């Protein structure tokens, strides 16, 4: 049973560039949430996707956008990268009607 997968594992970008991160949920899960985790901090909720729609959003600017595909996989896009966007980006999935979230390994983004 495959767990949550994310790609790429590491990424280096420069300020002003755009980045796309990808996530495949755990088998049987239909809901995907994205989090940003800065060093020494807990994960901060970015948004959640369900049925290809953004269902809930945290306090992140519009530079952060996402998408969910019919197979439940998801993308996180960040435009106009800032140095402060350097963080571990985590994807978590949950089952239909379930609250418990399971995390993928994360993508570590470094913005120079």
Partner 1 sequence: QKEVEQNSGPLSVPEGAIASLNCTYSDRGSQSFFWYRQYSGKSPELIMFIYSNGDKEDGRFTAQLNKASQYVSLLIRDSQPSDSATYLCAVNPNFNKFYFGSGTKLNVKP
CA distances to 44, 60, 100 from 40, rounded to whole Å, are 12, 19, 23
Q: Which is nearer to partner 1, 78 or 106 (CB)?
A: 106
Query: Least Å distance between CB 71 and partner 1?
Result: 21
Is residue 111 within a helix (H) or strand (E), and if so which, with residue range?
strand 107-111
Query: Least Å distance between CB 1 and partner 1?
Result: 15
Q: Which is nearer to partner 1, 34 or 78 (CB)?
A: 34
Residues that bind partner 1 (CB under 8 A): 33, 35, 40-45, 48, 50, 55-56, 58, 88, 90, 92, 99-106
For 3, the 3-state DSSP assignment is: coil
Closest CA to 107 of 82, 67, 75: 75
Q: Which is nearer to partner 1, 38 or 80 (CB)?
A: 38
């Amino acid at each position: 049973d495959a767990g949550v997968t994310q790609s790429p594992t590491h990424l280096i970008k420069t300020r002003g560039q755009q980045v796309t991160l990808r996530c495949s949920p755990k088998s049987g899960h239909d809901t995907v949430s994205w989090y940003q985790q800065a060093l020494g901090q807990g994960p901060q909720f970015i948004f959640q996707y369900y049925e290809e729609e953004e269902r809930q959003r945290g306090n992140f600017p519009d530079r952060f956008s996402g998408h969910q595909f019919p197979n439940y996989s998801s993308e996180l896009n960040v435009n106009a990268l800032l140095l402060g966007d350097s963080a571990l980006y985590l994807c978590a999935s949950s089952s239909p009607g379930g609250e418990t979230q399971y995390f993928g390994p994360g993508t570590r983004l470094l913005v120079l």
